[in-house]
Structure 1
Amino acid sequence: MNIIQQIIDFFNHPVFIIVGGLTVVFAAIGIIYRVVCITLGVTPLVFRIGKAIWRRKVAIIGTSEVFSTLKDCITDTDIFNKKNVIHIPIDNIDKAKEHTILLVDWETSGILIDQIFVARKNHNTAVIIFAKAGSIPNDKMAEIANKSNTVVVNFKGRLLNDILNSLITTSFDGQ
């Protein structure tokens, strides 16, 4: 019993009380700092992606058959609303100016890629080109690579990821 009392008295020394108090204060400040950093860092991203998925439209440029296939691929995940995926026929490329996410099927619309780049609203408009591996000629691929906010994808599994990344990285002005 006497030894236990000596240990308790040793740790009741003012130095241990001060060090323990400072440790608790620093730990509390650290926890508050981490909560503030997480809140300020993650919250804007969550709101931006939520607003982008809820309000922005994905315009698919291609034939009706391609549109239905790509629309099913995008909407089957239940991430996007079906009304937010629209079709722009090949013969009406000027409608692309109204949208900020353009999904282009290379097989049916590749010959119009220069018109599509001219028709996009600005450099904040994302252009996602869906193409089979090796179907884009090297000179055209080099030209596409120099365009901002442009992605070439050849897997339907990657397509949704590239659309989500484009929604996050391009600005949205509320249209």
Structure 2
Amino acid sequence: MASIRIKNMVCPRCVMAVEQILQRLDIAYQQVSIGLLETQAELDEQQTKALDQELQDIGFEILIDRKTQLVEDIKLALMDLLSREEENPLKTSQFLMDRFNLDYAYLSNMFSEVQGEPIEKYLIHLRVEKVKELLHYDLSLSEIAYKLQYSSTAHLSTQFKKLTGYSPSEYKKIIESKHPL
């Protein structure tokens, strides 16, 4: 069995897309999860090249560099942190230090070097994506702000508009106009 780290996988649809590629390439695998592929055997050079090309065609890539792997692990950890925030608000720096047993300054510098943006900015992008997702449900903006640990709805709205160009209410109207009930 071999483990292969894959960059840019963020959701269950990504897992399905990778599974479809593996089936198309006739590569036996044990499991595909966000950011990770467990194959039943080591891939030969031709299989690895074909897999990497197919993954790149849909915006993914095989990770080889250790720094890049750590950054992808940090991204997955941040998604995990975001999913836990309502039940257990944690400080990002402490959460990452506990998760990786490394100094936050090291993690932060490595992330910025590889990703081209600080951890905090990346986390804001993740939060805004989560807000977009939650706007599909019948939650008020104050419920969403509470759920995602925003200090206020105004703070949420400001960050949302800065990244999307729309206020949350404008964005919700767009969603509703595209997908009426």
Which structure carries more relative contact order (alpha carbon 8 Å, separation 6+)?
A: 1
When Rg is computed on C-alpha atoms for both structures, the one with the higher figure is 1
TM-score computed with the length of structure 2 as normaliser: 0.26
TM-score computed with the length of structure 1 as normaliser: 0.27
